[in-house]
Amino acid sequence: MPTALPIASLDWNAVDTTYLSYLNEHPDMPERWLLVQTLATGPSRRALLGALGVAEGAHVLDVGTGFGPTPVELAGMVPVTVVGLDRDPANLEVARAITEGVEERGWFRPGSQVSYGLGDAYDLPVDDGRFDLATARLLFQHLDDPGRAADELFRVVAPGGGVCVVDADDGLSISYPEPSDAFRRLQRAFADLQAARGGDRFVGRKVSTLLEQAGFTIVSVVVLPQAVHGPSTPEDPARAFALQRLRSARDAIVEAGILDADEVDDSLEVFAGERVDGQCSIEAHLAVVARKPA
Ligand SMILES: C[S@@+](CC[C@H](N)C(=O)[O-])C[C@H]1O[C@@H](n2cnc3c(N)ncnc32)[C@H](O)[C@@H]1O
Protein backbone atom coordinates (compact mmCIF):
# COMPACT_ATOMS: atom_id res chain seq x y z
CA MET A 1 0.00 0.00 0.00
CA PRO A 2 1.42 3.45 -0.88
CA THR A 3 2.56 5.55 2.05
CA ALA A 4 3.50 9.18 2.65
CA LEU A 5 5.49 11.09 0.03
CA PRO A 6 9.11 11.87 1.00
CA ILE A 7 9.03 15.15 2.90
CA ALA A 8 11.82 16.61 0.79
CA SER A 9 9.64 16.32 -2.34
CA LEU A 10 6.92 18.52 -0.85
CA ASP A 11 6.53 22.26 -1.07
CA TRP A 12 6.08 23.21 2.58
CA ASN A 13 5.74 26.84 1.56
CA ALA A 14 1.95 26.52 1.42
CA VAL A 15 1.90 25.47 5.06
CA ASP A 16 4.49 27.89 6.43
CA THR A 17 2.96 30.81 4.51
CA THR A 18 -0.42 30.02 6.04
CA TYR A 19 1.03 29.89 9.59
CA LEU A 20 2.88 33.16 8.95
CA SER A 21 -0.14 34.94 7.44
CA TYR A 22 -2.24 33.89 10.41
CA LEU A 23 0.39 35.24 12.81
CA ASN A 24 0.63 38.53 10.91
CA GLU A 25 -3.13 38.97 10.63
CA HIS A 26 -3.80 38.13 14.31
CA PRO A 27 -1.18 39.99 16.35
CA ASP A 28 -3.27 39.62 19.54
CA MET A 29 -4.22 35.96 19.16
CA PRO A 30 -4.13 33.87 22.35
CA GLU A 31 -1.24 31.39 22.70
CA ARG A 32 0.62 33.18 19.89
CA TRP A 33 3.86 31.61 21.08
CA LEU A 34 2.43 28.16 20.27
CA LEU A 35 2.04 29.09 16.61
CA VAL A 36 5.56 30.54 16.57
CA GLN A 37 6.76 27.25 18.05
CA THR A 38 4.73 25.33 15.46
CA LEU A 39 6.63 27.16 12.71
CA ALA A 40 10.02 26.71 14.36
CA THR A 41 9.62 22.98 15.00
CA GLY A 42 8.33 22.20 11.48
CA PRO A 43 11.40 20.30 10.26
CA SER A 44 11.55 17.78 13.12
CA ARG A 45 7.76 17.30 13.20
CA ARG A 46 7.62 16.69 9.44
CA ALA A 47 10.59 14.31 9.49
CA LEU A 48 8.85 12.28 12.16
CA LEU A 49 5.48 12.26 10.36
CA GLY A 50 7.23 11.11 7.18
CA ALA A 51 9.04 8.34 9.05
CA LEU A 52 5.78 6.95 10.44
CA GLY A 53 4.99 5.51 6.99
CA VAL A 54 1.26 6.29 7.27
CA ALA A 55 -0.67 4.27 4.68
CA GLU A 56 -2.95 5.81 2.06
CA GLY A 57 -6.53 5.83 3.32
CA ALA A 58 -5.53 5.58 6.99
CA HIS A 59 -7.79 7.01 9.68
CA VAL A 60 -5.75 9.10 12.08
CA LEU A 61 -6.73 10.73 15.37
CA ASP A 62 -4.67 13.63 16.75
CA VAL A 63 -5.40 14.28 20.43
CA GLY A 64 -4.60 17.73 21.88
CA THR A 65 -4.34 18.96 18.32
CA GLY A 66 -3.91 22.66 19.23
CA PHE A 67 -3.65 24.66 16.01
CA GLY A 68 -3.69 21.41 14.01
CA PRO A 69 -0.15 21.06 12.63
CA THR A 70 -0.23 17.26 12.68
CA PRO A 71 -3.53 16.88 10.77
CA VAL A 72 -2.64 19.60 8.25
CA GLU A 73 0.87 18.37 7.51
CA LEU A 74 -0.06 14.69 7.33
CA ALA A 75 -2.94 15.41 4.93
CA GLY A 76 -0.45 16.94 2.48
CA MET A 77 1.85 13.92 2.61
CA VAL A 78 -0.63 11.11 1.96
CA PRO A 79 -4.38 10.84 1.32
CA VAL A 80 -5.71 10.32 4.83
CA THR A 81 -8.69 11.08 7.01
CA VAL A 82 -7.52 12.96 10.10
CA VAL A 83 -9.58 14.05 13.07
CA GLY A 84 -8.04 16.58 15.47
CA LEU A 85 -9.52 16.78 18.96
CA ASP A 86 -8.82 19.37 21.64
CA ARG A 87 -10.55 20.53 24.79
CA ASP A 88 -9.98 24.20 23.94
CA PRO A 89 -12.54 25.65 21.47
CA ALA A 90 -10.38 28.73 20.81
CA ASN A 91 -7.48 26.57 19.61
CA LEU A 92 -9.87 24.59 17.41
CA GLU A 93 -11.10 27.81 15.84
CA VAL A 94 -7.52 28.70 14.88
CA ALA A 95 -6.93 25.14 13.63
CA ARG A 96 -9.98 25.38 11.37
CA ALA A 97 -8.90 28.76 9.94
CA ILE A 98 -5.37 27.51 9.26
CA THR A 99 -6.67 24.29 7.70
CA GLU A 100 -8.90 26.32 5.39
CA GLY A 101 -5.94 28.53 4.40
CA VAL A 102 -3.73 25.53 3.68
CA GLU A 103 -6.48 23.81 1.69
CA GLU A 104 -7.01 26.96 -0.39
CA ARG A 105 -3.32 26.89 -1.24
CA GLY A 106 -3.85 23.40 -2.69
CA TRP A 107 -1.75 21.62 -0.10
CA PHE A 108 -3.87 18.55 0.68
CA ARG A 109 -3.41 15.34 -1.29
CA PRO A 110 -6.58 14.50 -3.25
CA GLY A 111 -8.76 12.37 -0.98
CA SER A 112 -7.45 13.80 2.30
CA GLN A 113 -10.03 14.98 4.81
CA VAL A 114 -9.32 16.96 7.96
CA SER A 115 -11.89 17.73 10.63
CA TYR A 116 -11.82 18.97 14.21
CA GLY A 117 -13.92 18.55 17.29
CA LEU A 118 -14.01 19.07 21.02
CA GLY A 119 -12.62 16.17 22.98
CA ASP A 120 -10.95 15.47 26.28
CA ALA A 121 -7.89 13.21 26.25
CA TYR A 122 -9.30 11.41 29.32
CA ASP A 123 -12.65 10.61 27.73
CA LEU A 124 -12.38 10.68 23.96
CA PRO A 125 -15.71 10.93 22.11
CA VAL A 126 -14.63 8.07 19.87
CA ASP A 127 -15.63 4.40 19.50
CA ASP A 128 -13.24 1.61 20.47
CA GLY A 129 -10.72 0.57 17.80
CA ARG A 130 -11.84 3.32 15.41
CA PHE A 131 -8.40 4.59 14.25
CA ASP A 132 -5.37 3.10 12.47
CA LEU A 133 -3.07 5.61 14.14
CA ALA A 134 -3.38 7.98 17.09
CA THR A 135 -0.97 10.85 17.69
CA ALA A 136 -0.48 13.21 20.61
CA ARG A 137 2.17 15.90 20.38
CA LEU A 138 3.11 18.09 23.35
CA LEU A 139 -0.09 17.01 25.13
CA PHE A 140 1.13 14.71 27.91
CA GLN A 141 3.16 17.53 29.56
CA HIS A 142 -0.17 19.25 30.34
CA LEU A 143 -1.89 16.25 31.92
CA ASP A 144 -2.11 15.37 35.61
CA ASP A 145 -2.85 11.72 34.72
CA PRO A 146 -1.06 10.92 31.44
CA GLY A 147 -1.50 7.19 32.13
CA ARG A 148 -5.25 7.65 31.74
CA ALA A 149 -4.71 9.39 28.39
CA ALA A 150 -2.45 6.50 27.30
CA ASP A 151 -5.28 4.06 28.19
CA GLU A 152 -7.69 6.11 26.06
CA LEU A 153 -5.27 6.08 23.11
CA PHE A 154 -5.06 2.30 23.46
CA ARG A 155 -8.85 2.01 23.47
CA VAL A 156 -9.43 4.02 20.29
CA VAL A 157 -6.66 2.42 18.18
CA ALA A 158 -7.57 -0.70 16.18
CA PRO A 159 -5.73 -3.96 16.96
CA GLY A 160 -2.49 -3.83 14.93
CA GLY A 161 -2.73 -0.02 14.77
CA GLY A 162 -0.14 2.44 15.96
CA VAL A 163 0.40 5.36 18.28
CA CYS A 164 2.96 8.14 18.24
CA VAL A 165 3.37 10.34 21.31
CA VAL A 166 5.85 13.22 21.27
CA ASP A 167 6.70 15.29 24.30
CA ALA A 168 9.26 17.52 25.92
CA ASP A 169 11.67 16.76 28.74
CA ASP A 170 13.44 19.72 30.34
CA GLY A 171 16.16 17.31 31.48
CA LEU A 172 17.32 17.37 27.84
CA SER A 173 17.88 21.16 27.82
CA ILE A 174 21.53 22.16 27.81
CA SER A 175 23.26 25.42 27.05
CA TYR A 176 26.78 26.75 27.17
CA PRO A 177 27.53 29.29 28.52
CA GLU A 178 24.92 28.57 31.19
CA PRO A 179 21.74 30.63 31.02
CA SER A 180 21.49 33.74 33.22
CA ASP A 181 19.95 33.64 36.70
CA ALA A 182 17.02 35.70 35.38
CA PHE A 183 16.25 33.16 32.65
CA ARG A 184 16.68 30.20 35.00
CA ARG A 185 14.29 31.81 37.51
CA LEU A 186 11.68 32.31 34.78
CA GLN A 187 12.12 28.84 33.34
CA ARG A 188 11.77 27.24 36.80
CA ALA A 189 8.64 29.33 37.45
CA PHE A 190 7.19 28.22 34.10
CA ALA A 191 7.83 24.55 34.95
CA ASP A 192 6.39 25.05 38.47
CA LEU A 193 3.29 26.63 36.94
CA GLN A 194 2.81 23.64 34.67
CA ALA A 195 3.30 21.31 37.65
CA ALA A 196 0.82 23.38 39.74
CA ARG A 197 -1.72 22.84 36.96
CA GLY A 198 -1.02 19.11 37.15
CA GLY A 199 1.40 18.99 34.20
CA ASP A 200 4.97 17.71 33.95
CA ARG A 201 7.85 19.30 32.00
CA PHE A 202 9.84 16.06 32.47
CA VAL A 203 7.22 13.72 31.00
CA GLY A 204 9.22 12.83 27.85
CA ARG A 205 11.20 10.11 29.61
CA LYS A 206 7.98 8.58 31.02
CA VAL A 207 5.98 8.25 27.79
CA SER A 208 7.26 4.82 26.68
CA THR A 209 6.54 3.34 30.12
CA LEU A 210 3.04 4.83 30.16
CA LEU A 211 2.26 3.45 26.69
CA GLU A 212 3.62 0.02 27.60
CA GLN A 213 1.52 -0.01 30.78
CA ALA A 214 -1.52 0.82 28.65
CA GLY A 215 -0.91 -2.35 26.57
CA PHE A 216 1.09 -1.04 23.58
CA THR A 217 4.26 -2.73 22.35
CA ILE A 218 7.01 -0.15 22.03
CA VAL A 219 8.51 0.04 18.52
CA SER A 220 10.97 2.91 18.94
CA VAL A 221 11.96 5.78 21.19
CA VAL A 222 13.64 8.62 19.33
CA VAL A 223 15.15 11.86 20.54
CA LEU A 224 14.36 14.85 18.30
CA PRO A 225 17.04 17.40 19.17
CA GLN A 226 17.22 21.02 18.14
CA ALA A 227 20.59 22.68 18.58
CA VAL A 228 21.73 26.16 17.69
CA HIS A 229 24.93 28.09 18.17
CA GLY A 230 25.16 31.81 17.83
CA PRO A 231 24.80 35.12 19.57
CA SER A 232 21.76 35.41 21.79
CA THR A 233 20.44 38.96 21.54
CA PRO A 234 17.22 40.90 22.06
CA GLU A 235 16.77 40.93 18.24
CA ASP A 236 17.03 37.14 18.03
CA PRO A 237 13.74 35.42 16.94
CA ALA A 238 14.43 32.60 19.42
CA ARG A 239 14.64 35.22 22.21
CA ALA A 240 11.37 36.76 21.03
CA PHE A 241 9.74 33.33 21.10
CA ALA A 242 11.00 32.54 24.62
CA LEU A 243 9.87 35.95 25.83
CA GLN A 244 6.41 35.57 24.35
CA ARG A 245 5.98 32.21 26.03
CA LEU A 246 7.18 33.49 29.41
CA ARG A 247 5.20 36.75 29.19
CA SER A 248 2.02 34.84 28.40
CA ALA A 249 2.51 32.91 31.67
CA ARG A 250 3.36 36.03 33.72
CA ASP A 251 -0.06 36.63 35.34
CA ALA A 252 -0.64 32.95 36.07
CA ILE A 253 2.81 32.63 37.72
CA VAL A 254 1.96 35.58 39.98
CA GLU A 255 -1.59 34.36 40.72
CA ALA A 256 -0.25 30.91 41.66
CA GLY A 257 2.14 32.59 44.12
CA ILE A 258 5.22 31.07 42.43
CA LEU A 259 6.97 34.47 42.11
CA ASP A 260 5.73 37.92 43.03
CA ALA A 261 4.95 40.42 40.27
CA ASP A 262 8.17 42.41 40.78
CA GLU A 263 10.33 39.28 40.60
CA VAL A 264 8.72 38.19 37.32
CA ASP A 265 8.82 41.66 35.77
CA ASP A 266 12.45 42.29 36.81
CA SER A 267 13.52 38.88 35.48
CA LEU A 268 11.64 39.45 32.21
CA GLU A 269 13.30 42.83 31.79
CA VAL A 270 16.79 41.44 32.43
CA PHE A 271 16.20 38.47 30.10
CA ALA A 272 14.74 40.70 27.36
CA GLY A 273 17.87 42.86 27.29
CA GLU A 274 20.56 40.17 27.66
CA ARG A 275 23.36 39.81 25.11
CA VAL A 276 25.52 36.69 24.91
CA ASP A 277 28.17 36.59 22.17
CA GLY A 278 28.08 32.91 21.36
CA GLN A 279 25.87 30.30 22.99
CA CYS A 280 25.18 26.67 22.17
CA SER A 281 21.61 25.73 23.13
CA ILE A 282 20.15 22.25 22.85
CA GLU A 283 16.57 21.21 23.50
CA ALA A 284 14.90 17.94 22.65
CA HIS A 285 11.58 16.19 22.35
CA LEU A 286 11.13 12.45 22.79
CA ALA A 287 9.02 10.59 20.24
CA VAL A 288 7.65 7.17 21.11
CA VAL A 289 6.14 4.96 18.42
CA ALA A 290 4.22 1.91 19.61
CA ARG A 291 1.78 -0.69 18.30
CA LYS A 292 -1.38 -2.21 19.68
CA PRO A 293 -1.06 -6.00 19.45
CA ALA A 294 -3.18 -7.46 16.63
C1 LIG B 1 1.25 22.60 23.53
S2 LIG B 1 -0.27 22.37 22.74
C3 LIG B 1 0.22 21.24 21.46
C4 LIG B 1 -0.68 21.32 20.27
C5 LIG B 1 -0.30 20.44 19.08
N6 LIG B 1 -0.43 19.04 19.38
C7 LIG B 1 1.06 20.77 18.53
O8 LIG B 1 1.84 19.84 18.29
O9 LIG B 1 1.36 21.95 18.29
C10 LIG B 1 -1.20 21.34 23.85
C11 LIG B 1 -2.67 21.21 23.45
O12 LIG B 1 -3.26 20.21 24.29
C13 LIG B 1 -4.57 20.64 24.64
N14 LIG B 1 -4.99 19.91 25.85
C15 LIG B 1 -4.51 20.05 27.10
N16 LIG B 1 -5.14 19.19 27.93
C17 LIG B 1 -6.03 18.50 27.18
C18 LIG B 1 -6.97 17.46 27.45
N19 LIG B 1 -7.15 16.97 28.68
N20 LIG B 1 -7.71 16.98 26.43
C21 LIG B 1 -7.57 17.47 25.18
N22 LIG B 1 -6.70 18.45 24.86
C23 LIG B 1 -5.93 18.96 25.84
C24 LIG B 1 -4.45 22.14 24.81
O25 LIG B 1 -5.70 22.79 24.70
C26 LIG B 1 -3.48 22.49 23.67
O27 LIG B 1 -4.17 22.81 22.49
The pLDDT profile of the chain, 294 residues, written as one tens digit per residue, is 456 667 777 889 899 999 999 999 998 888 888 898 898 889 889 999 999 999 999 999 999 999 999 999 999 999 999 999 999 999 999 999 999 999 999 999 999 999 999 999 999 999 999 999 999 999 999 999 999 999 999 999 999 999 999 999 999 999 999 889 999 999 999 999 989 999 999 999 999 999 999 999 999 999 998 888 888 898 887 788 888 889 989 999 999 999 999 999 999 999 999 999 999 989 899 999 999 999
Please state, in angstroms and rounded to a whole number, the distance separating the CA atoms of residues 142 and 34: 14
Q: Is the CB of 38 under 6 A from ligand 1?
A: yes
Phi-psi region of 236 (alpha: psi -120 to 50; beta: other; left: phi over 0): beta
- What string of H, E and C letters represents the secondary structure of 2-66? CECCCHHHCCCHHHHHHHHHHHHHCCCCCCHHHHHHHHHCHHHHHHHHHHCCCECCCEEEEECCC
Cα–chain-centroid distance for residue 63?
11
Cβ–ligand 1 distance for 120 under 6 Å, the answer yes
pLDDT at 2: 53
Distance from C-alpha of 196 to C-alpha of 88, rounded to nearest angstrom: 19
CA–CA separation, 146 and 235 (whole Å): 37
Does the C-beta of 69 come closer than 6 Å to ligand 1? yes
Q: Is 131 exposed, middle or buried (0-12, 13-18, 19+ CB in 10 A)?
A: buried
Is residue 75 exposed (0-12), middle (13-18) or buried (19+ Cβ within 10 Å)?
buried
- 210 Cβ neighbours under 8 A, 6+ residues apart: 140, 146, 147, 150
Pocket test for ligand 1, best of 22, 29, 82, 139 (most atoms within 8 A of CB): 139
Give CA torsion, residues 209, 211, 213, 219, to 10 deg.
Answer: -80
Q: Give me ligand 1 centre to Cα 176, in Å.
A: 31
pTM: 0.91
Ligand 1 center to 66 CA (angstroms):
5
pLDDT of residue 11: 83
123 C-beta neighbours (distance < 10 Å), count: 11
Q: Whose CA is nearest to atom 14 of ligand 1?
A: 64
- Which residues have C-beta within 8 Å of that of residue 95, sequence separation ≥ 6? 65, 66, 67, 68, 71, 72, 84, 86, 116
- Report the separation in Å between the CA atom of 278 and the middle of ligand 1, taken as the mean of its atom positions: 34
Report the alpha-carbon distance of residue 183 to residue 188 in Å, rounded: 9
In short, whether 87's Cβ falls inside 6 Å of ligand 1 is yes
The SS3 of residue 113 is strand
